[in-house]
Structure 1
Amino acid sequence: MTTDPRTPRRAPAGAAVLREDVTEAIRAAVFEELASVGFARMSIEGIARRAGVGKTAVYRRWKSKLSLVLDLVSAFAAQGLPAPATGSLYGDVRALLEVASHALRHPVASQVIPDLLVESVRNPEIADAIKAALLDSQQGVAAHIVRDAIARGELPASTDPYRLLDVAVGPLYWHLVVVRADLPKGYLDDLTRGAVAALRA
């Protein structure tokens, strides 16, 4: 019996296309699992159970929980933060703080970020991924804000762009993630004014 060459060949067993909806369910489950039990206690079994899939579905996509978390953090870093362009230094800093405060107040992020920062002390791969996701992306936004402010004559040319993170995002992170307190009314406005004054000093 001969095979008609015009007949499409069937994909070999095991070569099934990975369903995107399953992949997204697993990614969502990872964030939930991290927030619930932390990286150290997180397991592929727990992720699969939370996603409503078998362990095999997870292992087809990632070889370990570390590679899974690194992939998610790297994807987050690739998205980056939008660089504000309000036309003024005050407006740009205020917009940056608004976006950052929403991100840090997210219930999952408020659990996941501190846990991964602790793990990064013991794991250089996680440290590199966290640096790219949290530090490098924010440094790029800070540099953009300061560069625009210098071009408008609002800041001296010698202004260190990364100082913006120290005087603006640093206090916000401390308040929301470390102290875990609600922001008082007008806090972001006060913090913006203080950060702008510090940059100009």
Structure 2
Amino acid sequence: MFDQLAEIGYARMSMDAVARRAGVGKAAVYRRWPSKQAMLIDLVEAAILRNLPEVPDTGSLAGDVRGFLDVIVGQAADPRVRRIALDVLVETTRIPELAAALHDVVDRPRRTAAALVLTRAIARGELPADVDLELGLDVLISPLLLRLLRTGEQVDDAYLTRLTKVIVTGLGAV
């Protein structure tokens, strides 16, 4: 199903097509998932749970930020993941229930992992105790995801080094 979702996208994917590709009857698919949305959420959640980011603890904010960025790059290395992520992101603008469900299985676990990077830095005295955590999470996560998912531009060691410096500097200002 993951390959099929990456190939044709959520809007064009049907329970019939999933059943045909799996070599089972449509009833078998519906016994497992009551809807296409439930199937997508289950598929994404299974992929996410297998790939939850391990929060690096290098002993420094800069090291932890770089380690976290490396995890994100690793997770987005598969072009299918990028295609599905973009496709599903668009669908969530049309389907609020899908947006809410995916927030629970995609966004929240990643933001929780990223929050550890920030709270460790606060505990070490590298960030002020009153740092705006929500804004800090946006600063930590968003620039790289935008580059990986939308622009398709190069993400190499030099870029990640520069981005780490920018994020660490920015976190000090939030």
* TM-score normalised according to structure 1 size: 0.77
Which shifted more, 131-140 or 89-98? 131-140
8 Å contact kept, 2:56–2:68: yes
Does residue 1:190 correspond to 2:162, yes or no? Answer: yes
For residues 146-166 of structure 1, the C-alpha deviation after alignment (integer angstroms, 9 at most, x for no partner) is 111111111111112233333
1:59 is matched with 30
Q: Which amino acid aligns with 2:35?
A: S
Among candidates 10, 16, 27, match of residue 39 of structure 1? 10
CA distance in 1, matches of 2:32, 2:88: 21
1:174 is matched with 146
What 5-or-longer segments of structure 2 have no aligned partner? none
What 5-or-longer segments of structure 1 have no aligned partner? 1-28
Could you tell me how far 1:78 is from its partner in structure 2? 5.0
Could you tell me how far 1:185 is from its partner in structure 2? 4.3
1:147 is matched with 119
For residues 39-71 of structure 1, the C-alpha deviation after alignment (integer angstroms, 9 at most, x for no partner) is 111012222233343333322211221211122
Moved over 6 A (4+): none
Does residue 1:99 correspond to 2:71, yes or no? Answer: yes
SS at match of 2:32: coil
CA distance in 2, matches of 1:59, 1:170: 36
1:5 is matched with none
Q: Which structure would you say has the larger Rg?
A: 1
Q: Which amino acid aligns with 1:68?
A: M
CA distance in 1, matches of 2:6, 2:48: 19
CA distance in 2, matches of 1:49, 1:94: 43
Q: Which amino acid aligns with 1:126?
A: L
SS at match of 1:135: helix
Among candidates 84, 90, 102, match of residue 130 of structure 1? 102
CA distance in 2, matches of 1:189, 1:163: 21
Which has a greater percent of helix?
2
- What is the aligned-residue identity percentage? 43
* TM-score normalised according to structure 2 size: 0.88
Give the number of equivalent residue pairs: 172
Among candidates 53, 70, 75, match of residue 81 of structure 1? 53
1:109 is matched with 81
Could you tell me how far 1:184 is from its partner in structure 2? 4.1
**Of the two structures, which has the highest relative contact order with CA contacts closer than 8 Å and spacing of 6 or more?**
2
1:14 is matched with none
